């Protein structure tokens, strides 16, 4: 895994964001950070953290985990034994069984993406992820600086590495589902999280990549029932 500071100015709150497949921190640049630091984790060709959460969290009043897409599974894998180190965790458009016909991305679709992955397929993926022209335009202006070979290598590793974990052991206290998700099918997300085990499960009118609906990280957390930044 690779970690990058998107915002770091000794704020009282730390957001640790686990990214989706093929990403880096650039697509998240339009979100302001008014009262928080933001560390972005990407690239799941291995699941080795290059930083110590205990050391980081000790420097902040609050530590909040936000995981999106394949990052929902990845954060579960690496943080399940460190739940005491963060105050809350939000899953956005992902499940703990991300390659599954009923609870995630159908494996046949995932395999087809791998087999056909080229520049045209990548742009098609971005379009399906964003759905609306204005979202896609902003995303493309901040698209990841990663090569096709780099993204494909991650895809191949994930296809062999991904497994399933039950909702009962989830690190997440809140779940956000987009009702127009064409990547991690909305119905499959609903099916996985339907027995929320006391978790707050919300739906929003948005595509798989929903982040440009918020002007800042604090606004995202406020809408989803997270920490109060006031």
pTM: 0.96
**Terminal-to-terminal C-alpha distance of the chain:** 32
Mean of per-residue pLDDT scores for the chain: 95
DSSP 34-55: SSEEEEEEE-TTS---SS-HHH
CATH homologous superfamily of 2-223 equals Alpha/Beta hydrolase fold, catalytic domain (3.40.50.1820)
Q: Is the pLDDT of residue 229 over 50?
A: no
pLDDT for 167-217, tens place per residue? Answer: 999 999 999 999 999 999 999 999 999 977 778 999 999 999 999 999 999
- Tokens at residue 185, please? 């099918």
CA dihedral 164, 204, 85, 43 (to 10 degrees): 60
Q: Which of the 8 DSSP states describes residue 95?
A: -
Mean pLDDT of 43-48: 96
Structure token pair of residue 48 = 């080795």
Q: How confident is the model at residue 226 (pLDDT cuts 50, 70, 90)?
A: low
pLDDT over 90, % of the chain? 91
- pLDDT, position 230: 36
Can you give the pLDDT at residue 50?
Answer: 81
Region 155-162 average pLDDT: 98
For the cut 80, the answer to whether the pLDDT of residue 228 exceeds it is no
Residue spans per domain, the chain: 2-223
pLDDT at 49: 87
Write the CB contacts of 117 (distance below 8 Å, at least 6 apart in sequence): 148, 151, 152, 155
3-state secondary structure of 13: strand
- Contact indicator for 126, 143 with CB cutoff of 8 Å: yes
pLDDT in tens, 81-139: 999 999 999 999 999 999 999 999 999 999 999 999 999 999 999 999 999 999 999 99
**107/84 Cα distance (integer angstroms):** 34
Return the CA Rg of the chain.
16
Task: Report the pLDDT value the prediction gives residue 198, as an integer from 0 to 100.
Answer: 78
**Among all chains, which residue has been given the structure tokens 């990052």?**
71
Per-residue pLDDT at 29 exceeds 90: yes
What's the mean pLDDT in 136-153?
Answer: 98
């Amino acid at each position: 895994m690779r970690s990058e500071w998107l915002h770091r100015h000794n704020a009282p709150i730390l957001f640790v964001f686990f990214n989706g497949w093929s990403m880096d921190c650039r697509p998240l640049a339009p979100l302001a950070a008014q009262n928080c630091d933001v560390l972005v984790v990407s690239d799941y060709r291995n699941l080795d953290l290059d930083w110590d959460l205990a050391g980081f969290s000790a420097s902040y009043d609050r530590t909040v985990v936000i995981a999106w897409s394949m990052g929902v599974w990845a954060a579960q894998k690496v943080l399940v034994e460190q739940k005491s180190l963060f105050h809350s965790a939000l899953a956005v458009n992902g499940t703990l069984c991300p390659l599954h016909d009923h609870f995630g991305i159908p494996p046949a679709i995932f395999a087809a993406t791998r087999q056909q992955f080229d520049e045209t397929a990548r742009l098609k993926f971005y379009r399906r992820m964003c759905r609306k022209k204005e979202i896609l335009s902003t995303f493309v202006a901040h698209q990841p600086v990663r090569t096709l070979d780099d993204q494909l290598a991650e895809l191949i590793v994930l296809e062999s590495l991904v497994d399933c974990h039950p909702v009962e052991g989830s690190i997440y206290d809140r779940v956000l589902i987009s009702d127009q998700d064409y990547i991690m099918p909305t119905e499959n997300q609903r099916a996985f999280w339907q027995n929320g085990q006391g978790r707050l499960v919300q739906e929003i009118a948005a595509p798989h990549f929903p982040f440009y609906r918020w002007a800042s990280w604090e606004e995202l957390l406020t809408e989803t029932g997270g920490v109060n930044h006031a």
